[in-house]
Structure 1
Amino acid sequence: MADLNKLTLADARDALKKGETTSVELTEACLKAIDAADALNAFVHKTPEIAMERARAADARLAEGDAPAMCGLPIGIKDLFCTRGVPSQAASGILEGFRPEYESTVSQNLIDAGAVMLGKLNMDEFAMGSSNETSVYGNAVNPWRRGNDEAALTPGGSSGGSASAVAADLCLAATGTDTGGSIRQPAAFTGIVGIKPTYGRCSRWGIIAFASSLDQAGPMTKTVRDAAIMLEAMCSSDAKDSTSTDLPVPNFEALLTGDIRGKKIGIPREYRIDGTPEEIEKIWSDGAAMLKDAGAEIVDISLPHTKYALPAYYVIAPAEASSNLARYDGVRYGHRAKLAQGDGITEMYEKTRAEGFGDEVQRRVMIGTYVLSAGFYDAYYNRARKVRTLIKKDFEDAFAQGVDAILTPATPSSAFGLGEMAEADPVQMYLNDVFTVTVNLAGLPGISVPAGLDKQGLPLGLQLIGKPWDEGDLLNIAASLEKSAGFVAKPAQWW
């Protein structure tokens, strides 16, 4: 078979079962594609030896007929997931040299399902960013370009390396994490599918923390079916994570019937924001029409506290980051600054953190420390927590009225150029999360589905938001939208 790296998870799985290819051949095809794509800077720690060892083991399991769901399928792992013996830096200088002696629960689940790790993927430092421009490894680059323009575009963030690798067929799928849109926004920017499951559906153990009440792992894939396959493999209850659920994990793929007749899809009026490009508005209305044609009922709904979501998020997330990142002090692992004679422990902390953390991480740590300080805790942090409760109630009220899912744009624009926003007001970058942060604040599942191209030839995505713990229904509605949209465009290879 030719172009094995371009297969979907589902097609590769079927080819393996039929004996039309082997995991070794699939893995070799991906490794070759990775080595030819350094211009994308998507893979930052390549692990070909581990990949080939696991591929050979997968072929042996397949030959014995003992093949779990993802047996032999080559994937990439975001650098936020701790992987035993492999650098796990969260794209930060402060974790330089850190090789954990343990495996994150999600990556272990994928190993147990037979998946083959090709390497670690680029990301924004500590997952803080919307453009993959805060990485110690340098920018990840979007494989898509604007027409004949050679300007490098962002693949989105923080899971930019994952999005770029999947869109460029360097791997069949990848893991991502989503704290305020970091799976869904890069998926939309690169024309792939990305799902953030309900908070607690995937264990957070072994995933380097940004904001613990918001972080959630999920798959980034070429199709909705692939997302269903990989999500099932990633999910589990976990005694090591007190926030993980002990609910049984459904066979998400079996729930993809494609029948959405009678489903009620909400269109929130508060997501119609002044200044939204006409193309985004059009693809949103087109998406609603597609779902209606498939038998769904489209209803207008109100989520009245939406306008407070971004301010609340940018109080809560930095506050939790400030607390989580206090552990990086140069004492036990990672980077330690060189000290001058007479320097004490305070100077070691200060110099290590100043050298190890990038500008964006330092900015958010300072914001978080400020809003948690004695004089401002009630004015900022407590108030933001109350707003979060109101946002969650907005969604609960909508679902109580019989709404099965909510359709919104995934992003306020298509991919922008690297460097176009980074030097501007940081708040402009934060506005990229305007359609996605509410889902994290409410702990809900959300999925981005590619739905079309803008006039520059760049992908645009639509977001579906589902009921808590109902990823199966959400994936089924997403599959219907995917089928109606018929998005099959791929970036022209320039790298």
Structure 2
Amino acid sequence: MTNDTALHDMGVAELAAQLKDKKVSSVEAARHFLARARQHQALGAFLSVDEDATLAQARAQDALIAEGKGGPLAGVPIAHKDVFVTRQWPTTASAPMLDGYRSPFDATIVDNLAQAGCVTLGKLSCDEFAMGGANEHAGIAPVGFDAPQPVRNPWDATRVPGGSSGGSAAAVAAGLAPAATGSDTGGSIRQPSSLCGITGIKPTYGRASRYGMIAYASSLDQAGVMARSARDCALLLSSLCGPDIDRDSTSVDMPPEDFTRHLGEGVKGLRIGVPREFFGEGLHADVRAAIEGALKEFEKLGARLVPISLPRTDLAVPVYYVISPAEASSNLARLDGVRYGHRAKNYADLVDMYTQSRTEAFGEEVKRRIMIGTYVLSEGYYDAYYLQAQRIRRMIADDLQAAFKDCDLIAGPAAPSVAWPIGSKTDPLDTYLSDIYTLPASLAGLPGMSVPAGTGDAGLPVGLQLVANHFQEARLLAAAHQLQQATDWHLRRPSL
């Protein structure tokens, strides 16, 4: 039997093999990670756990493994970002508006991973309604706390883990879970993966079902996975993705795909585009040095670096912060205290009930984005702001397609800096700018990922972003895997 003290150092692939060979049981693995979550609850990563529910799932997987009927991920523990609804755990999106909500069904991606054999450890903190880039805007108290807390970066507990999937990134980096789900609207998987030194991937828009995902911006939201390595992400993504056209109108009608199939292929001759706009003003010197070092590793493996231009990169932030708040304003309108969400106890009439309920239950960042979104959709401003932003969004997508004529993948930093101290960014725009490099792929619906690429100042992680054309996740993961075969950046762990 495997010594369980080493379980949290295993990746998904290794742990799945140990479980299949009965060297460790699913119940043992589940208990180990639940204990890890309790031991390190000061990080604030988990919003809810239910040990009985987790162990019941684990026992069921052990029974299937004993019969030789286990799925590809049989018994592997996973934790879910709290924007994916679950029957056995509360789902709040870290929002007081949804405090205590229990869904009557599981999100499609939760169900898909369960069908593959994954065992749910619990739900993970995020920025309220996934609106934020630091996980400082969580409105629900994490396990072990009496009041809402920011999630803390396992590499330095005084710093942010990134957002909005900060709880997912922190949990994986700290070994509280071998893998986690995340959602990525403008970089919410890739940026925290960079800041926490793990691997995370957002697939092509439409690859993963949005059914059961609490919506932020529907034309941008996409589910993905976060783990230690590209191999682990490939295994998870193969089970997570698949068509769901009857329940999600944006789901792509493509059969499930084995994203591990190209992992053994080298990168010799691969053309990697390097956008000059990603290496200009705003990129911190320590991050630049780490990214350039990672690109040199690709060259050593036989890839060819190709200078490219994405001339509208500087417009990605304003475009995103017109379109996403507009969609958020529409999506969150249903949360009015009548049928959904928190209802104020004291109010004079119907309008006052709406006002009081939403004032009490929405956080400041959510209110800010609702107000921006309502403004840009209002009469007299729709054409000037929202319609114009959609036009520029198309131009940004066209820039990326033009670049792919000269390269196979695009590479650059996932974030302009390493993790910053909690509370140090008081101007919201400073946090918005941390997504400058991830936004173009989101606006274009392209698959993108962040892989560890060394360290910057204070020994903090730096992530290399890789972007591929639509439905080229297998190529993306293969390139990342080859880099990880040649380097050890993804194997480094924070000292908790």
Q: What's the TM-score bracket when you normalise by the shorter of the two chains?
A: over 0.9
**AA partner of residue 150 (structure 2):** N
Residue 216 (str. 1) matches residue 222 (str. 2): yes
Please report how far the alpha carbon of residue 186 of structure 1 lies from its aligned counterpart in structure 2 after TM superposition. Answer: 0.5
> 1:411·1:461 contact (CA, 8 Å) conserved in 2?
yes
Residue in structure 1 matching 2:401, options 385, 396, 399: 396
- In structure 1, the partner of 2:415 is 411
Return the match for 1:144 from 149, 155, 164: 155
Does the CA-based 8 Å contact 2:200-2:451 persist in structure 1? yes
Question: Which of the residues 481, 484, 491 maps onto 1:482?
Answer: 484
User: In structure 2, what is the Cα distance between the partners aligned to 1:275 and 1:321?
Assistant: 28
**2:350 pairs with one of 342, 345, 348:** 345
Letter in 2 for 1:123: C
SS of 1:254's equivalent in the other structure is coil
Alignment partner, residue 38 of structure 2:
35
* Counterpart residue number, 1:61: 64
Whichever residue aligns with residue 14 of structure 2, its letter is: D
Distance 1:140 1:307 in 2: 29
Checking the alignment, whether the CA contact within 8 Å between 1:130 and 1:429 is kept in structure 2 is yes
User: Quick one: distance in 1 between partners of 2:282 and 2:451?
Assistant: 23
Match of 2:145 in 1: none
Distance of 1:112 and 1:275 partners within structure 2: 44
Q: CA deviation at 1:467?
A: 1.0
The verdict on how the C-alpha distance between 1:321 and 1:142 changes in structure 2, with shifts beyond 3 A counting, is same
Alignment of 1:96-495 (within 5 A): 96-137=99-140, 138-145=149-156, 152-238=158-244, 239-340=246-347, 343-401=348-406, 403-421=407-425, 424-487=426-489, 488-493=491-496
Q: Tell me if structure 2 keeps the 8 A contact 1:97–1:334.
A: no
Change over 3 Å in CA distance of 1:334–1:85 after alignment to 2: farther
Q: Which deviations, in whole Å up to 9, do the C-alpha atoms of 1:288-345 show, x marking residues without a partner? A: 21111111111101111111111100000000000000000011133110124xx111
Query: 1:409-459 CA distances to partner (integer Å, 9 max, x unpaired)?
Result: 0100001111111xx211111011011011100000001000101130111
- Displacement of 1:258: 4.1
What amino acid maps onto 1:318 in structure 2?
P
Match of 1:87 in 2: 90
Distance 2:391 2:400 in 1: 15
Aligned-partner SS, 1:348: helix
Distance in 2, matches of 1:96 and 1:196, equals 27
Distance in 2 between the 1:123 and 1:364 partners? Answer: 16
Shift of 1:220: 0.5
List gaps (5 residues or longer) in structure 1: 146-150
CA contact (8 A) 2:163 2:191 kept: yes
* Aligned partners of 1:40 and 1:142 also within 8 Å: yes
Task: Report which stretch shifted further, 269-278 or 180-189.
Answer: 269-278
Deviations 1:261-280 (A, max 9, x none): 11111001111221421111
Equivalent pair of 2:418/2:457 in contact (CA under 8 Å): no
Quote the offset at 1:249 in angstroms.
2.4
Q: Distance in 1 between matches of 2:24 and 2:224?
A: 27
State the TM-score, normalized to the length of structure 1: 0.96
2:11 maps to a residue whose letter is T
Letter in 1 for 2:400: F
Q: Distance in 2 between matches of 1:293 and 1:485?
A: 11
Instruction: Give the 3-state SS of the residue equivalent to 1:400 in structure 2.
Output: coil
CA distance in 1, matches of 2:282, 2:37: 39
Contact 1:82 1:102 in 2 (8 A): yes
User: For 1:255, what is the secondary structure of its paired residue?
Assistant: coil
CA RMSD of aligned residues (A): 1.0
The residue number in structure 2 matching 1:148 is none
Q: What is the aligned partner in structure 1 of residue 144 from structure 2?
A: none
Unaligned runs of 5+ in 2: 141-148
Instruction: Give distance in 2, aligned partners of 1:155 and 1:455.
Output: 15
SS at match of 1:176: strand
Letter in 2 for 1:442: A
What is the aligned-residue identity percentage?
47
**1:228-252 CA distances to partner (integer Å, 9 max, x unpaired)?**
0011111010020011111122211
